[in-house]
Structure 1
Amino acid sequence: MCHWRRVRNTYSQCGHVFDLADEMIRCDDRYCKFSSSHPTNCVPPSCTTTCWQYRQFPQQFNRFIDSVCPGCTQQGQGR
């Protein structure tokens, strides 16, 4: 099923945290109404009983990066 991906970068050396823009991950499932593989002739009421009508919960990633953030690097605050 199609879903959103959320990524948070945590920089351990300066402590700053940045959330990246959410990204839509598209599937190839013909039974997912959000997929590009979903048939255009699949219409209600049959679509609502045979196809996914909602997206999965977003994937969430929290990456811990052992460095300073790009902002601190530009300001010369790297350690």
Structure 2
Amino acid sequence: MCYWRRVRNIYTRCGHGVNLPEEEIKCELINCKFSRTHPQNCPNCSQTCWQYRQYPQQYSPHIDRLCPTCSASTIR
């Protein structure tokens, strides 16, 4: 099934978190209605194909530096 990926970078030197734009991950399964390989004219789509995306994957990598905002303010 297709799903959304959510990433929130946590910057350990300042403690701030920054959300990245959500990214849709395509599964390439023919029976997933969100997939590029799913036929547009699928005859029994609502009975035979996935009608929803999988629960979003969420990642929060911890990065050992300042966030972009704090980095920009220390340069001035």
Task: State the TM-score, normalized to the length of structure 2.
Answer: 0.91
Aligned to 2:49: 51
Aligned residues: 75
Aligned to 1:35: 35
**1:74 equivalent in alignment to 2:72:** yes
The one-letter code matched in structure 2 to 1:41 is: N
Which consecutive segments of 4 or more residues in structure 1 shift more than 6 A?
none
The one-letter code matched in structure 1 to 2:49 is: C
Counterparts of 1:4-23 in structure 2, within 5 Å, are 4-23=4-23
Q: Which runs of 5+ in 1 are unaligned?
A: none
- Calculate percent identity across the aligned residue pairs: 53
User: CA separation in 2, counterparts of 1:61 and 1:20?
Assistant: 10
Q: Which runs of 5+ in 2 are unaligned?
A: none
User: CA separation in 1, counterparts of 2:8 and 2:72?
Assistant: 20
Query: Alignment RMSD, CA only?
Result: 1.2
Task: State the TM-score, normalized to the length of structure 1.
Answer: 0.88
